[in-house]
Every structure is written in C-alpha cells, then in structure tokens.
Amino acid sequence: MRAVVHDRYGPPDVLRLADVEQPVPADDEVLVKVHATTVTRTDCGVRAGHPFFARAFTGLARPKRRIAGMELAGEVVAVGPAVTEFKVGDRVFGIKGGANAEYVCAPQTVPLASMPAGMSFEEAAAVCDGACTALSCLRGAGPLTGRSIVVYGASGSIGTAAVQWARYFGAHVTAVCNTKNLDLARSLGADEVVDYTREDFTKNGRTYDVIFDAVGKHSFRRCRRSLKPEGMFIETDLGFMWHAPVLALLTKWIGDKRAKIGIALQEGGRPAAEGADRGGKVSRHHRPALRVGGRNRRHEICRDGAEDGQRRPDGHAFRSD
C-alpha cells in the first residue's frame, strides 16, 4: 500500500509518498480502507519534532512511527475474530496513528465510531481531532451547566467543536471569531457572537466562568480580568517560552483564577463515539481533508486551521499523480 512517511524530523520536505507493507489485523483489530484523512496541528509538531521534550514520546533521534497522520474515515474491510463492535462494510471515522495511508489497522477500543448517515468521508475525517481535543479541554473545567464560557477561535476545528460541546452541556456560549464566520458560530449554537476584528471581548466589562482559547493566540494575562472569581482560562498551546505549564502550576496555588492546558484524550478513550451516539450536531466547517486512493492518488495536506483550502507555509504539502 502507499503511505506518507518520514524517517527524520524537519520541515514538510521530509515527507514522502512510499510503498509500505499493508497491515494485517490482530484478533481484536479492524482493517480500515482509508478514504479520507487530514493533517492536524499535532501532526505538524510531530513531523517537526517540536517541542523538543515531546520526542521522549515520539522518538528522540527519529520518529518512532514512520507513517504520518491521526484522523481518518473509511470502510472496514476485515475484522479479527475477537471484534464485536464492527463488521466488514461499516463506514467508520476516528483517530489512529499512521492514518495518512491507504489502510490502517486499529483495535476496536480506539476512538473509532460508525459514521453518521449522510456524511461524506471528507467531512467525517476532519471532525475527530477537534472534537476530541475540545471535549478533553472542557472536561477539565468541570460541570458547565448554567455557566458562561467564551470560545476564542470559534470557527476552527477545535473551536467549532467546543461551541457545540459547551452548548450541549448547558453552558451559555459566547463565540469569538472573524466577521465571515459569525453566522457559522450562531448555527452551531452560540448564544452570543463577537467579531474580534471589531471588538475585544476582554474590554467589554463582562466576566465569564471559563475562557477557552481554541487557537493558542490569547493569554491568561490578557484574559484574567474577564474571568469571574474561581474562573478558568484554558489554552491549547504551550505559550511563549513554554510558559503555560508553569503558569498552570502557579495559578493552582496562587490567586482565585486558574490557567489550564488542555490535553487531548488518548487512543484508549472513545470521545468520537460518544459524540456520535449522543446525537451532537457535526460541523462541516473543519479543516480541509486529504483524499487517499482513487485513479490518480494524491496527498494534499493542509496545515490545521487553513481556510478555503489554502495551504499555510508551515503545513505539509505532497502530491503524487
């Protein structure tokens, strides 16, 4: 089979399309023919080997896992004898390392779920990481029923999912995004929307229980006065000079407002399945997906957060026709 691989850390040029051995499912695994996959912000970090301390998990000198990617949507083509949750022919989507390939083997215990009816493979593949990351981050804030939350960056992969999760859990949601995405944020369930090109929500005199920075472009320092006592600022980025972990520790013991780093759920959880089973609305406005296979096979990978199909300079890009 063909897959996007990298044998060393570095810029997008380290990626190449290669022929690799097709995996064979173990007793408790399913074999999925991948119809669509994506590239996330995490994938870009793994490819580059940044931050450096993350190499303790991904491989110190070179990547432990050669095949890139983590999000996928496709069709189950084989199952192990111990598999009970899926059958051949099921259309599935979820998260599994090595997803930028034509086939992926996955234990039935990873975040893998049946695709909602009427959803395309491209739409399904682009949902998983944002939904899982947003859910994990919001769980860290505790019960949300009746509380107020700001989602900053509400039109991206994590942000669109966060708006929907927060509304589902009963929060009053203020979505912050640019002008062209205000209607999108409203359609996802936001109670209020703020256009950040015209208004700074930190200067409107209001306070909130939770402020969730879904794009890593705000800071606890700037948002602190907009938090209620015992309020929480959640970020998805390590911050300048990796200050965010230190800040999270300090605010745990000092002051009445907290900073927290959102950590995505591991493969052993099933957040994607939870979202599908509980009938949550699935957004079609996540990052562009990457199609795998077909007569003219191609890999076109866009940096997480790119809009209108445009690739950012620090993203992956590879095409083979």
Q: Mean pLDDT over residues 158-170, rounded? A: 95
Q: Mean pLDDT over residues 71-94, rounded? A: 96
pLDDT digits (tens, 9 = 90+) for 241-300: 557 677 777 778 888 888 888 765 443 333 333 333 333 344 434 444 544 443 223 223
Q: What CA–CA distance (Å, rounded) separates 235 from 216?
A: 6
Weakest-pLDDT range from 71-75, 168-172, 176-180, 279-283 = 279-283
User: What is the model's pLDDT at position 237?
Assistant: 74
Asked whether residue 231 carries a pLDDT value surpassing 90, the answer given is yes
Asked whether residue 66 carries a pLDDT value surpassing 80, the answer given is yes
For residue 23, give every residue at least 6 positions away whose Cβ sits within 8 Å of its Cβ, in sequence order, or none: 31, 103, 104, 105
Mean pLDDT of the chain: 82
207-219 CB burial, b ≥16 within 10 A, e <16: ebbbbbbbbbebb
Q: How many other CB atoms are there within 10 angstroms of residue 185's CB atom?
A: 26
Q: Which two tokens stand for residue 301?
A: 């990978």
Q: What CA–CA distance (Å, rounded) separates 17 from 20?
A: 10
Q: Could you check whether the bond before residue 51 is cis, i.e. omega within 30 degrees of 0? A: yes
Q: Helices (DSSP H) in the chain: which residue ranges?
A: 41-48, 55-58, 121-125, 128-139, 157-168, 182-187, 220-223, 244-253, 271-277
Which bin fits 90, alpha (ψ -120 to 50), beta or left (φ > 0)?
beta
User: What is the model's pLDDT at position 217?
Assistant: 86
User: What is the model's pLDDT at position 277?
Assistant: 34
DSSP symbols for 113-163 = EEPPTT--HHHHHTTHHHHHHHHHHHHTT---TT-EEEEESTTSHHHHHHH
Q: What CA–CA distance (Å, rounded) separates 144 from 149?
A: 8
pLDDT digits (tens, 9 = 90+) for 98-138: 999 999 999 988 889 999 999 999 999 988 888 888 998 99
Q: Are the CB atoms for 314 and 297 separated by under 8 Å?
A: no
pLDDT digits (tens, 9 = 90+) for 8-64: 999 999 999 999 999 999 999 999 999 999 988 889 889 998 878 778 888 899 999
Q: Helices (DSSP H) in 41-127: which residue ranges?
A: 41-48, 55-58, 121-125
Q: What CA–CA distance (Å, rounded) separates 301 from 282?
A: 22
Cα angle, residue 167 at apex, residues 72 and 203 outer, rounded to 5°: 110
DSSP tag of 67:
B
Q: Is 39 exposed, middle or buried (0-12, 13-18, 19+ CB in 10 A)?
A: buried
Q: Are the CB atoms for 165 and 171 separated by under 8 Å?
A: no
Prediction pTM value: 0.77
Q: Mean pLDDT over residues 220-231, rounded? A: 92
For residue 175, give every residue at least 6 positions away whose Cβ sits within 8 Å of its Cβ, in sequence order, or none: 150, 151, 154, 159, 163, 185, 186, 188, 190, 192, 193, 194
